[in-house]
């Protein structure tokens, strides 16, 4: 049978380099020399998947184990998929070209909800039955992880097991247990039970029965065994300095979205913006030391040859030893002609010094995220930045020659009124004014881009109980804002409200959504994270035909005593804290960052070294 790497096949598709393999730094192992094989899938294109730091880390973590073989799998692009279906070619792993279905494990990293149809498509293209209940012991064990697994319920029926939290330690533990039990002749069911019982962070959906109330809300989760946890607590890695870090990574030949060294400076975020899931689920903050980071940067540079290093963390300017780190890095990077970039600068900690030192000179544009147009709403969402902060940062940027500023906002936030939308337009105008007020501004006219996304309530945030605005309302708001932005130096772009609606349904859903996802797959859905493939009308048809009322999931305010589907997971942050935060939001009260004062979110119970939480008594 033809394989995915067949030259005749590769000649017939776009960007064949996606499938060619042979990159520097890949790990190729002899199947006969290992006890377990793990196909690690990023369910999107090669260029997106190879840009993910988590994939790079976990690939290394697994391959570091002598008796485990981990290979990469990506979603084939649509032209390749069409050819594969036409010729009956099975999806293969990247390194060996071996069919995915012959691996012991198939792991998916779930980075965004809109990739769920790709997950099912990857299963189908591999010839693997979609539902866990349809797979006997001969099929790979299908594992999920990543941010979306904090509400695994909408895809729970397709997975045998989820690892909740950070995988560096948990994933090898799971595979090691599997190897041991396989040798003892255990069945898959026995293995899953044992994993759920003994490995913290393991969630086996089939071992929990869900019951529903007459109104459609969840009544309860009931474990089917007494010896497994009633709620699955997320795993974290306590010490980032001693944590495994890949000293060499695969260096793709074809251009990827993130094609550089990514240095993870810390995990978590001290801020607690109330809409932000990442700010809650990655708590508590744990930092790496500059010494460790310098060492890792140098090693990675030598082993990959990358000419760019990006410091990657949620809110990089909150790193307590940023000065030390940039001082150390800059001398070295200049000498090596390596460029250093910082993503996601927070307005309140943005300084001229920081920009002069690291912002790449080449880019003429810089991005800030005030998120809301008025101070009132910024207080509601706990985005603790002021207009002065923004103007000061904009002034610094303009003063050092930048002419373009991009501003991120959200619409549809809880308590939002027209005044808040007006505020977005006003703020953009004032940033334009700031340009002309700044001495030494650039010669060309400034351009301020206002980019507005729609608020999607996310699990484990203080806004998890909120109703999302309806699509009609969101579109209305987008139009209203478009009418308000009349300044020719301000450009307005907004996200598709329809995508945000589907995203909300998939983010806030329960197990009953699997019906819809299955139907979507049967109707050929794929690459829904890509605008060119997303069709709102077809999604609505799928939901209707599978008996799913999308408003129930997306546009309904949840009761404060309602059992939420994702509460089978314990992410450290307590429900009491989230509720407290919700109430503070409604009274317009901000909450200090973890560094200023602990707000007792509960995450301290997860432990960790060098965390900012007060020590437990």
Partner 1 sequence: MLPENEMINEHDGEYPSLPEPRTVRLRFEKTGSLQFISHLDLQRSAARILTRAGIPLWYTKGFNPHPKLVFAMPLPIGCESVCELADVRIDRDMDCGRILDGLHRGSSGGLRFTECYIPERPFRDIAWARYGIRIAPGELMSPAGFAEKAAAVMSEKPLTVIKHGKSGDRLTDISGMMKDIKISCEGEETLIDLFMSATEGSTLSPAHLLGALTSRLGVPGPDTGYSAMRVCMTDAEGIIFR
Cβ of residue 576: shortest distance to ligand SF4, in angstroms? Answer: 12
User: Counting contacts by CB under 6 A, is residue 425 touching ligand SF4?
Assistant: no
Q: Please name the residue that has the structure tokens 């004032």.
A: 430
Per-residue contact flags (x/-) with ligand SF4 for residues 564 to 603, judged by CB under 6 A: ------------------------------x---xxxx-x
Among 103, 108, 275, 301, binds partner 1 (CB under 8 A): 301
Q: Select the binding partner of residue 486 from partner 1, ligand SF4, none (C-beta < 5 to 8 A, by kind).
A: none
Q: Select the binding partner of residue 269 from ligand SF4, partner 1, none (C-beta < 5 to 8 A, by kind).
A: ligand SF4
Q: Select the binding partner of residue 25 from partner 1, ligand SF4, none (C-beta < 5 to 8 A, by kind).
A: partner 1
Contact 151, 116 (CB under 8 A): no
* Residue among 33 and 138 whose Cβ is closer to partner 1: 33
| Burial class, 226, CB count within 10 angstroms (exposed 0-12 / middle 13-18 / buried 19+) | exposed
**Nearest residue to ligand SF4, by Cβ distance, number only:** 279
Strand partners, 285: none
442-480 burial, b at 16+ Cβ within 10 Å, e below that, comes to: beeebbbbbbbbbbbbbbbbbbbbbbbbbbeebbebbee
Dmax of the chain from CA atoms? 75
Cβ of residue 463: shortest distance to partner 1, in angstroms? Answer: 42
User: Counting contacts by CB under 8 A, is residue 1 touching partner 1?
Assistant: no
First-last CA distance in the chain: 64
Among 258, 292, 303, 349, binds partner 1 (CB under 8 A): 303
Per-residue contact flags (x/-) with ligand SF4 for residues 243 to 282, judged by CB under 6 A: --------------------------x-xxx--x-xx---
Cβ of residue 303: shortest distance to partner 1, in angstroms? Answer: 6
Q: Select the binding partner of residue 612 from ligand SF4, partner 1, none (C-beta < 5 to 8 A, by kind).
A: ligand SF4
| Burial class, 515, CB count within 10 angstroms (exposed 0-12 / middle 13-18 / buried 19+) | middle
- In the numeric block, which tokens belong to residue 384? 């603790």
* Residue among 2 and 189 whose Cβ is closer to partner 1: 2
Cβ of residue 279: shortest distance to ligand SF4, in angstroms? Answer: 3
User: Counting contacts by CB under 6 A, is residue 413 touching ligand SF4?
Assistant: no
Residues 13-42 that bind partner 1 (CB under 8 A): 16-17, 19-29, 33
Cβ of residue 413: shortest distance to ligand SF4, in angstroms? Answer: 13
User: Counting contacts by CB under 6 A, is residue 462 touching ligand SF4?
Assistant: no
* Residue from 427, 430, 428, 481 nearest 454 by CA: 481
User: Counting contacts by CB under 8 A, is residue 299 touching partner 1?
Assistant: yes
Cβ of residue 47: shortest distance to partner 1, in angstroms? Answer: 11
In angstroms, rounded to a whole number, what is the distance separating the alpha carbons of residues 162 and 232? 10
Size of the site for partner 1 (CB under 8 A): 40
* Residue among 41 and 604 whose Cβ is closer to ligand SF4: 604
* Residue from 447, 351, 461 nearest 413 by CA: 461
**For the chain, give me the number of helices (H) and strands (E)?**
21, 19
Output phi, psi for 207, to 5 deg: -95, 10
* Residue among 442 and 607 whose Cβ is closer to ligand SF4: 607
In angstroms, rounded to a whole number, what is the distance separating the alpha carbons of residues 147 and 83? 32
Helix (H) or strand (E) holding 368: strand 365-371
Question: What beta strand segments (E) does 455-560 contain?
Answer: 490-494
Alpha helices (H) along 485-535? 497-508, 514-522
User: Counting contacts by CB under 6 A, is residue 238 touching ligand SF4?
Assistant: no
* Residue from 22, 41, 189, 200 nearest 95 by CA: 22
Per CB under 8 A, residues contacting partner 1 are: 5, 7-8, 10-12, 16-17, 19-29, 33, 63, 66, 247-248, 251, 253-255, 298-299, 301-307, 337, 361-362
Per CB under 6 A, residues contacting ligand SF4 are: 269, 271-273, 276, 278-279, 283-284, 314-315, 346, 594, 598-601, 603-604, 612-613
């Amino acid at each position: 049978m033809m394989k995915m790497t067949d030259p005749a096949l590769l000649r017939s598709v776009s960007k064949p380099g996606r499938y060619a393999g042979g990159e520097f730094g890949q790990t190729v192992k002899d199947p006969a020399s290992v006890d377990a094989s793990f196909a690690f899938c990023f369910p999107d294109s090669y260029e997106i998947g190879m840009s993910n730091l988590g994939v790079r880390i976990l690939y290394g973590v697994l391959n570091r184990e002598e008796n485990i073989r981990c290979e990469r799998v990506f979603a084939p692009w649509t032209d390749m998929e069409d050819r594969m279906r036409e010729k009956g070619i099975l999806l293969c792993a990247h390194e060996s070209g071996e069919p995915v279905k012959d691996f012991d494990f198939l792991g998916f990293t779930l980075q965004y909800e809109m990739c769920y149809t790709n997950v099912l498509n990857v299963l189908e293209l591999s010839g693997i039955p979609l539902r866990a209940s349809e797979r006997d012991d001969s099929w790979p064990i299908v594992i999920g992880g990543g941010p979306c697994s904090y509400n695994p319920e909408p895809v729970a029926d397709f997975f045998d097991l989820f690892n909740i939290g950070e995988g560096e330690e948990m994933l090898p533990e799971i595979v090691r247990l599997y190897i041991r039990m396989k040798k003892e002749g255990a069945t898959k069911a026995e293995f899953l039970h044992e994993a759920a019982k003994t490995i913290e962070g393991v969630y086996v959906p089939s071992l929990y029965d869900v019951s529903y109330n007459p109104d459609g809300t969840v009544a309860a989760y009931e474990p089917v065994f007494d010896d497994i946890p009633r709620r699955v607590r997320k795993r974290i890695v306590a010490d980032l300095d001693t944590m495994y870090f890949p000293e060499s990574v695969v260096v793709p030949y074809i251009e990827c979205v993130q094609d550089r060294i990514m240095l993870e400076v810390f995990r978590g975020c001290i801020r607690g913006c109330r809409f932000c899931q990442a700010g809650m689920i990655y708590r508590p903050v744990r930092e790496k030391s500059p010494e460790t980071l310098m060492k890792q940067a140098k090693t990675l540079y030598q082993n990959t040859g990358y000419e760019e290093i990006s410091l990657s963390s949620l809110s990089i300017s909150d790193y307590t030893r940023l000065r030390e780190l940039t001082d150390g890095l800059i001398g070295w990077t200049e000498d090596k002609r390596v460029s250093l970039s910082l993503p996601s600068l927070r307005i309140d900690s943005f300084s001229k010094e920081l920009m002069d030192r690291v912002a790449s000179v080449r880019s003429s544009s810089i991005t800030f995220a005030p998120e809301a147009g008025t101070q009132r709403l910024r207080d509601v969402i706990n985005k603790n930045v002021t207009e002065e902060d923004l103007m000061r940062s904009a002034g610094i940027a303009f003063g050092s020659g930048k002419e373009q500023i991009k501003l991120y906002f959200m619409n549809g936030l809880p308590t939002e009124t027209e005044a808040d939308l007006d505020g977005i337009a006003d703020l953009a105008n004032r940033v334009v004014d700031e340009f002309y007020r700044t001495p030494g501004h650039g010669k060309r006219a400034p351009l301020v881009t206002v980019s507005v996304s729609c608020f999607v309530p996310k699990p484990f945030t203080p806004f998890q109980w909120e109703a999302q605005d309806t699509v009609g309302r969101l579109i209305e708001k987008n139009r209203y804002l478009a009418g308000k932005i009349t300044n020719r130096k301000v450009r307005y772009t907004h996200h598709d409200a329809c995508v945000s609606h589907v995203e909300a349904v998939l983010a806030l859903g329960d197990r009953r959504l699997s019906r819809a996802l299955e139907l979507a797959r049967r109707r050929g859905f794929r690459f829904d994270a890509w605008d060119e493939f997303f069709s709102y009308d077809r999604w609505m048809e799928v939901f209707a035909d599978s008996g799913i009322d999308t408003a129930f999931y997306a546009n309904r305010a949840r009761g404060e005593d309602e059992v939420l589907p994702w509460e089978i997971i314990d992410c450290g942050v307590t429900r009491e804290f989230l509720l407290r935060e919700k109430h503070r939001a409604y009274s317009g009260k901000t909450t200090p960052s973890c560094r200023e004062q602990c707000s007792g979110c509960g995450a301290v119970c997860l432990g960790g070294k060098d965390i900012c939480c007060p020590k437990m008594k």
